[in-house]
A and B are shown apart, each in its own frame.
Chain A
Amino acid sequence: MNFFTSFPKKWRVFQRTFIEAGGYIEVLKGLKNTAIVAVLGLIIGIVIGTIIAAIKVIPPHKRITRILQRIGNIYVAFFRGTPIVVQLLLGYYVLFPAMGIQLPAVNVCVIIFGLNSGAYISEIMRGGIQSVDPGQMEAGRALGLSFFTTMMKIVIPQAIKNILPTLGNEFIALIKETSVVGFVGATDICVAFRYIGTNNYEFMVPYLVMAAIYIVIVLVITGLIKLMERRLGRSDRVHK
């Protein structure tokens, strides 16, 4: 049987498992976990990334600054230098058990994805901060504002605006990367569809539908990012 003649039959099999046998509930659960890991991971990543980036651009006059910068470099090197699957396995089977903490797989995934994207976002954010005219920092400091205040109120808002498209890409990459959370036993879309497929040893349609769902999610988010960019770009030119 070739692909086209067998497709209607396979589609019916999928329909039966997906709707009548309640497979969609698994998929919705998976979707929820994917969303949780991606969104919380991004938020944690932005916070960590911003902190590391800010530390990296402090003029290294003081010893403590240099130590913090060294730590930041090691952190980034580790999380960019190892695959996310390895980090998940290390976190779930080594790090948290060693600390005596028992966490549900999804929580571990959120933390690891947050730490991982923090490393990438720190590099993006550093580029963003360095793209802001140094005169902005000087003007803030000359008025008596601290480095930290000027960074938070003047430089980082401008940096975020500059890196918004890149940050959007990072979010999209993060959503797609969450497809490996099954390695530590968390249920995401991927796991849900594998489960449906295993049910009657029919994988073609479930995996096609799964791909379609990922594409739809990514397209929707791309649209949202474009909308947000236009908003921010407008406030730059027009009267408030």
Chain B
Amino acid sequence: MTEYTNNETREPVLRIENLQKSFGKLHVLTGITENIYEGEKIAVIGPSGGGKSTFLRCLNCMEDPTGGSIYFDGVDIADPKVDINVHREKIGMVFQSFNLFSNKTVLENIMLAPVSIRMKRLRRQKIAKFFGKYKGEITETKQKIVDETKENAMRLLKRIGLEEKANVYPSTLSGGQKQRIAIVRALAMNPKVLLFDEPTSALDPEMVGEVLDLIRQVGDAGMTMIIVTHEMGFAREIADRVFFISDGIISEQGTPEEFFEHPKNPRTVEFLSKVL
């Protein structure tokens, strides 16, 4: 734990306090308290049904937590009164099944959210100006928003070498290409933290590499990431910390070395003996 002592003085990106989630009588998460600091890469592993995905999905309230708090940007986003959409803009998420919008082209997939959110802001600003509540100049125009977003989207597509796919529909792409575009779509929002929900589990084996390479690149660029994964090798390589979630809590955590070489919890030992 020596490496994290200096973190104590920093403000965490996500501060999770006694996070609980139950579905009816089934208590999936029974109380998770954890800080996640800027630039950290967290690998979340554990037996299936242990609550890994639920934990991740609670962090952007895709599942509403039933207890506890999650502080992001100084706001408790677990509070139902908070406008979660505003905060989700800054918490990117990548899904196991890609979930590209199938009625939109690749470029539209990447541009849709940034454009509609900036347009919404522009409309609000115009309304505020109309009623005299907003005094400043409105510099944004629809054309500017679209141009800037498009430029950014094309830059991102070029970075993953898929710029020639900009105008095709997702149904024509391979799984690896879809997932890389899903990652880029999340990046286009300039998130502060990226959540990965088993990003390679639905891929054919030969495509896992390209997706992991991209995740690695994004991580190297300083992105804070939380990755639920079954790829132990990848978890070990990329993670700063590994969380082992079983029975609704983080039952063990540590650096990859500590965790994989010297697991303490018998539950962890048993799990690792099965998967390694």
Contact = CB atoms under 8 A, between A and B. Distances in A.
Interface of B: 60, 62, 64, 85-93, 95, 97-105, 112-113, 116-117, 167-169, 171-172, 182, 185-186, 189
Nearest to B189: A143
14 contacts: A135-B99, A138-B62, A138-B99, A139-B99, A139-B100, A139-B101, A144-B90, A144-B117, A149-B116, A154-B101, A158-B103, A236-B169, A236-B171, A240-B168
B58 to A, nearest CB: 13
Contacts, number: 80
B166 to A, nearest CB: 10
B101 A144 contact: no
Contacts of B89: 143-144
Contacts of B93: 139, 142
Contacts of B171: 236-237
B88 A141 contact: yes
A229 interface: no
B117 A145 contact: yes
Interface string A131-143: 0010110111111
Interface residues of A, number: 24
B62 A142 contact: yes
Contacts of A136: 99, 101-102
B99 A240 contact: no
A240 B102 contact: no
Contacts of B87: 144
B186 A143 contact: yes
A142 B97 CA distance: 14
A141 B95 CA distance: 12
Give the one of B88, B89, B99, B117 with max A CB within 10 A. Answer: B99
Q: Give the 4 A-B residue pairs with the shortest CB-CB distance, closest first.
A: A144-B89, A139-B99, A143-B113, A135-B99
B62 A144 contact: no
A237 B85 CA distance: 32
Contact of A237 (B86, B91, B172, B182): B172
A133 B171 CA distance: 14
Given A145-B85, A145-B113, A153-B116, A140 B172 contact: no
A235 interface: yes
